[in-house]
């Protein structure tokens, strides 16, 4: 091919060099499609960094879903009624399903599930900071539904329009289920706040006090300290910035807290007539980076649980593989 000899660009700013006119044309076509708001499918040409960024974000998201099963799973055997137990079981199972959709979406980018899990188990891959906090009481379970799933929905609805179609499709299904998760959490807290004892009401307030600030951190660092945002938004992977989503979450949640009858633990929270938003206090970003760096209250415990589940589940994976090989042999023989 004549294009092999036509180097068009040198390596620049960490971006891999575009070596051929053919690649430059592919890049131009890709950029035009992104600008036009088109979706990119798995078989379409895409720049290496777009692929890498997606793999990073989708695999982290998948890991968050399955690590996210642990704090709530901790309460399945201690749910206060049969109804709440059935709801919690279904919710935790849904999170496992979300992990599967997301691992499958990430696999379309060329990395195997085993490789992704290996990165999680070795501590190389990240997952959401929020799941490194403990669930101390039953009210934590409702608060996770209300606030953590509420923040997740705020963050994830715009990803339904992500430029990478397999991720966008997975997110549509996930968001539908997440809205039930949020409502069941709120409903469980409302039951305690409206009909509960003083001790139960205090338990809800205590859980809200502990989860509020970590939930605000879920959206990631401030925009001016977010290294991946500009490129992620340019590529249509992220549609709305970290700070904008955080503000939308605060604005939506304040009224829900009022209806519930709890206060949010922020003395600086006040309505700003000029901006038409709720102003809120300063987030402790040193805590966020400590948790992301592995030093949160439950990081070690969460990772150890995932590694143990992987090791103890080996016989299940082997049995499933043996079964599918047997089925394939039977189908071939028929």
Q: What residues line the site for ligand BYC (CB under 6 A)?
A: 56-57, 60-61, 64-65, 68, 95, 126, 128-129, 148-149, 152, 155-156, 217-221, 226-229, 232, 238, 242, 292
What is the per-residue DSSP string for 162-214? -SBHHHHHHHHHHHHHHHHHHHHHHHHHHHHHHHS-HHHHHHHHHHHHHHHHH
Looking from the CA of 93 toward its CB, the CA atoms found within 13 Å total 7
Q: Which is nearer to ligand BYC, 84 or 238 (CB)?
A: 238
Q: What is the largest CA-CA distance in the chain?
A: 79
Q: Which is nearer to ligand BYC, 61 or 84 (CB)?
A: 61
- Compute the least distance from the CB of residue 113 to ligand BYC, in Å: 17
- Compute the least distance from the CB of residue 331 to ligand BYC, in Å: 36
Please give the Cα distance from 46 to 32 (Å, whole number): 12
Q: Which is nearer to ligand BYC, 148 or 192 (CB)?
A: 148
Asked if 130 and 148 count as a contact pair (C-beta separation under 8 A), the reply is yes
Among positive and negative, which fits the CA dihedral 71, 73, 78, 84?
Answer: positive
38 DSSP 8-state letter? P
- Compute the least distance from the CB of residue 125 to ligand BYC, in Å: 9
- Compute the least distance from the CB of residue 170 to ligand BYC, in Å: 11
- Compute the least distance from the CB of residue 255 to ligand BYC, in Å: 21
Q: Which is nearer to ligand BYC, 34 or 218 (CB)?
A: 218
3 DSSP 8-state letter? G
Q: Which is nearer to ligand BYC, 3 or 228 (CB)?
A: 228
Please give the Cα distance from 133 to 114 (Å, whole number): 26
Q: Which is nearer to ligand BYC, 128 or 200 (CB)?
A: 128
Closest among 149, 145, 124 to 63, alpha carbons compared: 124
User: Residue holding tokens 């593989």?
Assistant: 321
Q: Which is nearer to ligand BYC, 57 or 200 (CB)?
A: 57
- Compute the least distance from the CB of residue 306 to ligand BYC, in Å: 14
What is the per-residue DSSP string for 100-162? HHHHHHHHTTT--HHHHHHHHHTT-S---GGGGS---SHHHHHHIIIIIHHHHHHHHTGGGG-
- Compute the least distance from the CB of residue 179 to ligand BYC, in Å: 12
């Amino acid at each position: 091919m004549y294009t092999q000899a036509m180097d068009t660009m040198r390596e620049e700013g960490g971006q891999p060099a575009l070596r051929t006119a053919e690649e430059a044309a592919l890049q131009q076509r890709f950029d035009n499609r992104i600008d036009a708001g088109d979706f990119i499918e798995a078989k379409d040409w895409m720049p290496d960094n777009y692929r890498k960024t997606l793999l990073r974000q989708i695999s982290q998201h998948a890991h968050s879903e399955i690590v996210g099963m642990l704090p709530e799973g901790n309460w399945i055997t201690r749910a206060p009624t049969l109804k709440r137990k059935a709801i919690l079981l279904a919710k935790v199972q849904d999170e496992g399903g979300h992990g599967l959709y997301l691992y499958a979406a990430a696999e379309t980018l060329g990395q195997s599930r085993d490789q992704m899990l290996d990165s999680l188990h070795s501590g190389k891959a990240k997952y959401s900071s929020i799941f490194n906090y403990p669930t101390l009481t039953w009210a934590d379970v409702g608060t996770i539904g209300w606030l953590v799933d509420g923040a997740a929905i705020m963050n994830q609805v715009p990803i339904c329009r992500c430029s990478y179609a397999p991720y966008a499709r997975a997110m549509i299904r996930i968001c539908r289920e997440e809205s039930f998760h949020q409502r069941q959490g709120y409903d469980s807290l409302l039951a305690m706040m409206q009909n509960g004892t003083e001790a139960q009401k205090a338990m809800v307030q205590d859980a809200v006090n502990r989860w509020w600030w970590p939930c605000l951190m879920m959206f990631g660092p401030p925009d001016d300290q977010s290294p991946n945002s500009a490129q992620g938004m340019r590529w249509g992977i992220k549609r709305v910035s970290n700070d904008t989503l955080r503000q939308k979450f605060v604005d939506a949640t304040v009224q829900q807290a009022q209806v519930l009858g709890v206060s949010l633990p922020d003395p600086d929270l006040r309505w700003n007539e000029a901006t038409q938003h709720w102003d809120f206090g300063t987030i402790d970003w040193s805590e966020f980076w400590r948790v992301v760096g592995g030093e949160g209250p439950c990081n070690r415990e969460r990772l150890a649980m995932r590694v143990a589940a992987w090791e103890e589940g080996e016989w299940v994976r082997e049995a499933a593989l043996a079964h599918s090989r047997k089925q394939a042999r039977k189908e071939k023989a028929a």
